[in-house]
Amino acid sequence: MTVQTDLTTEELHDRYRSATNPVERTHWHILWLMKEGHAPDEIASMLGYTARWVRTIVRCWKKAGEQGIRDQRLTLPGAPCLLSAEQQKELDQVLDQPPADGGLWSGPKVAVWMAERLGRPVDPRRGWDYLQRLGRSTRVPRPQHERSDQAAQQAFKKTSRRGREAASGVSRGEN
């Protein structure tokens, strides 16, 4: 297997050295080494890839030239959104109200709401994703022990070193 190109080994080396995208840089490196006469197995062991992948890159070069060795991941469309723009607006408005069971909105509760709208199951993690996407988060008050004594806690804060420092505005690192 050889690389058919009008580019010299020096030009391939220059393209390898000047590539800013790491994926494309590796592809240029493979082409440069192939043009120098190295075998796919040898290149694979030098660069940490398989010989099959080296041959794939060379085939992409033969088929499409420079376009064939570009980082194709940048052109992938990705998965479509679960909720349309209108459904996201509706969810944003719904999140302003407390959930049906009371309490606070959480990822699983949002996922249940989404499942009702979409007519199919929705993973609870997707509910959390949409909370994040809409700039929301669960705000849960700190748990309080049922037998805690608020007066004793305040007295402790006033007599402890940290409590005095916090009240006076002095931190531990400053003298």
Structural domain boundaries of the chain? 9-75, 85-133
d(CA 130, CA 90): 12
Within 8 A by CB and 6+ apart from 147, the residues are none
pLDDT confidence of residue 167: 65
Give me the pLDDT at residue 35, please. 92
In this predicted structure, what is the pLDDT of residue 170?
59
At 123 the pLDDT is: 94
What lies within 8 Å, CB to CB, of 65 at 6+ separation is none
Give the pLDDT confidence score for residue 144 in this predicted structure. 73
> What does the DSSP assignment read for 76-120?
---PPPSS-HHHHHHHHHHTTSPPTTSS---HHHHHHHHHHHHTS
pTM value > 0.95? no
What is the rounded distance in angstroms from the CA atom of residue 4 to the CA atom of residue 63?
11
Contacts 24+ apart (CB under 8 A), 75-81: none
Residue 135 per-residue DSSP state: T
Rounded to whole angstroms, how far apart are CA atoms 122 and 115? Answer: 5
Measure the CA–CA gap between 69 and 57, rounded to whole angstroms: 7
pLDDT of residue 40: 94
Q: Measured between alpha carbons, how far is 139 from 162 in angstroms, rounded to an integer?
A: 26
Q: Are 122 and 111 in contact (CB under 8 A)?
A: yes
CB 117 within 8 A of CB 83: yes
Q: Name residues of the chain where pLDDT drops below 70.
A: 138-141, 163-175
